[in-house]
Amino acid sequence: MKRFLTFFVTLILFSLPASAQEEPSRILFFGDSITAGHGIDKQKAYPALIQQKIDSLGWNYKAVNGGLSGETSSGGLRRIDWMLKQPVSVFILELGGNDGLRGIDPEVTKSNLQKIIDKVRAKYSDAAIVLAGMQVPPNLGSDYTDAFRQVYPELAEQHDVELIPFLLEGVGGNDELNQSDGIHPTAEGHEVVAQNIWEVLEPILRQNRSER
């Protein structure tokens, strides 16, 4: 009887797809209220929409929403060690927008984002890192907005991370895709954001799967 049970269990395990036998690789979306899905159902925020895209392909990844409303780059730096207690295969860094709205020196933002990237690399050297570029309204002057915009491509080049040029491309400034505050995307806006991310993320996930 024992031998039969052992055979039966083994047969079930081998009949399951590999993805059902393995723990899913974690994709950590680390950001502020945009990532958190402020003002909408969290299941309609872009991390959940990315999970839907992954599930439709049958890929074994779990999208983790690490967004926190009001988060700045300095707040993220204080929080990152706790968020890295669980394994991370892909790290999406979406921070800095609140820095820009508060007029924080772009060099401070850049330094904080760099330190977050360094911590991820130190803990999970094989993790792919994606930096989500942000922009700020022109009310603080062109010098500030230009300096802030350059933070992201400069970091991506200096630290060899993938870049989403502007996370809110097609959403920022579009009243129909933003809530009444003009800052946070609607559920429809999150669909556009998810596609902006997917264009960069999908090739990374595909490559990771081919290397396993």
pTM for this model (two decimals)? 0.88
Which residues, other chains included, contact 29 with Cβ-Cβ below 8 Å and sequence gap of 6+? Answer: 35, 46, 47, 50, 63, 64, 65, 66, 67, 92, 94
- The rounded distance, in Å, linking the Cα atoms of 58 and 52 is 10
154 and 147 Cβ atoms separated by less than 8 Å: no
157: which 2 tokens? 């080049």
Angle, CA of 109, 154 and 63, to the nearest 5°: 70
Give me the CATH topology for the region 22-210.
Answer: Rossmann fold (3.40.50)
The number of residues in the chain equals 212
| From 32, 73, 89, 184, active-site residue | 184
Which residues, other chains included, contact 148 with Cβ-Cβ below 8 Å and sequence gap of 6+? Answer: 96, 99, 100, 106, 109, 134, 135, 136
Active site residue 146: no
Q: What is the pLDDT of residues 18-72, one digit of tens each?
A: 444 589 999 999 999 999 999 999 999 999 999 999 999 999 999 999 999 999 9
| From 33, 38, 99, 190, active-site residue | 33
> 3-state class of 129 per DSSP?
strand
Active site residue 33: yes
Domain locations in the chain as residue ranges: 22-210
Determine the average pLDDT of the residues in 170-184.
96
